[in-house]
Amino acid sequence: MNAPVSLKVNPDLQTVTQVTHWTDRLFSFRVTRPQSLRFRSGEFVMIGLAGDNGKPILRAYSIASPAWDEELEFYSIKVPDGPLTSRLQHIEVGQPIILRPKPVGTLVHDALKPGKRLWFLATGTGFAPFASLLREPETWEKYDSVVMMHTCREAGELEYGRQLVADLRDDPVIGELIGDKLQYYPTTTREQGPFMGRITDNLTSGKVFADLGLEGPLDPVRDRAMVCGSLAFNKDVAAVLEGFGLEEGSNSAPADYVIEKAFVGDGV
Ligand code: A2P
């Protein structure tokens, strides 16, 4: 009689419960949440699939759902020859994915000093941690107002965020908490739209303040910021924020703004 070959169940396997394709390059999906997993809204975990050789292919993904949600949501790019996303984009409801339940990250409320107005600055799939933080009651309890700036090349890429913000306002619990505190400022850079331009430019020129009727410019006494996008974007926004006198914070030394790199581009 043959002994069973490694019938050990992988404790890190979760099941896909929903998949939504937003464009030919963007999709979101939901998976079951391990009962033991606790995280702070804005953190990320490693998720992935078993590779052909049986070894897991894992990447860091911001959790797009809030800490109170029963499931976990993720928002991803599709890279045709990306080691993970070339396959992840084809996942279907009922299929397993690997999730290492060790959440970490700096886009958390604990890493910011108290302030009045909070800026969420995202490009592309960098919207994901803010999809979590926008649904986090602490966001609305701690700040008088929140400005969500999201910039993509084309309008279709803004749709996940646009839908999420619309649903938020209609949500009986979160909608009530938000009241009139949320200003949403989606812009495109390569397709004509109602609002256009890079986040860096719209902050330095003052356009976002003028368009939304907000008091400007950024002020370290009043303003806090969380940033998530490509490496180049993060670097340039940091310089803009520093130019206005904001200082970078971390879990161990809270300050005025925090940064996380979204997984974009090659190797995903
Ligand atoms: P742009 O079209 O002017 O390059 P990407 O898809 O390349 O990650 O870009 C996503 C969005 O972020 C685009 O709208 C892009 O504007 C903008 N972006 C890219 N790099 C920067 C940067 N260094 N500073 C500000 N915005 C940027």
CB 35 within 8 Å of CB 99: no
Q: At 140, which helix (H) or strand (E)? A: helix 137-142
Q: Do domains 13-104 and 109-261 have the same CATH topology?
A: no
Q: Which of 79, 3, 21, 10 is nearest to 50 (CA)?
A: 10
Q: Tell me the per-residue pLDDT of 11-43, one tens digit each, with 9 for 90 and over.
A: 799 999 999 999 999 999 999 999 899 999 999
Q: How many CA atoms lie within 13 A of 268 on its CB side?
A: 20
Residue 8: what pLDDT?
52
User: Given pLDDT bands bounded at 50, 70 and 90, which one contains residue 1?
Assistant: very low
128 lines ligand 1 (CB under 6 A): no
E strands along the chain, which residues? 13-23, 26-32, 44-50, 56-62, 71-77, 96-104, 117-123, 145-152, 182-188, 223-229, 257-261
Question: For the segment 231-261, what is each residue's pLDDT rounded down to a tens digit?
Answer: 999 999 999 999 999 999 999 999 999 999 8
Q: State which ligand 1 atom lies nearest to the alpha carbon of 124.
A: 10
CB-ligand 1 contact for 239 (6 Å cutoff): no
Q: How far apart are CA 124 and CA 127, in angstroms?
A: 6
The fraction of the chain above a pLDDT of 90, given in percent, is 89
Distance, CA 136 to ligand 1 centroid (Å)?
A: 27
Q: Tell me the per-residue pLDDT of 74-111, one tens digit each, with 9 for 90 and over.
A: 999 999 999 999 999 999 999 999 999 999 999 999 99
Could you confirm whether domain 13-104 is CATH 2.40.30.10?
yes
Cβ-contact 111, 257 below 8 angstroms = no
**Mean pLDDT value across the chain:** 94
Q: Where are the domains of the chain?
A: 13-104, 109-261
> CATH number of the domain at 109-261, please?
3.40.50.80
Cβ of 116 closer than 6 Å to ligand 1, yes or no, is no
Query: What is the distance, to the nearest Å, from the Cα of residue 172 to the centroid of all Cα atoms in its chain?
Result: 23
Which atom of ligand 1 approaches the CA of 200 most closely? 25
Distance 101 CA to ligand 1 centre (A): 31
**For ligand 1, is residue 230 a contact (CB within 6 Å)?**
yes
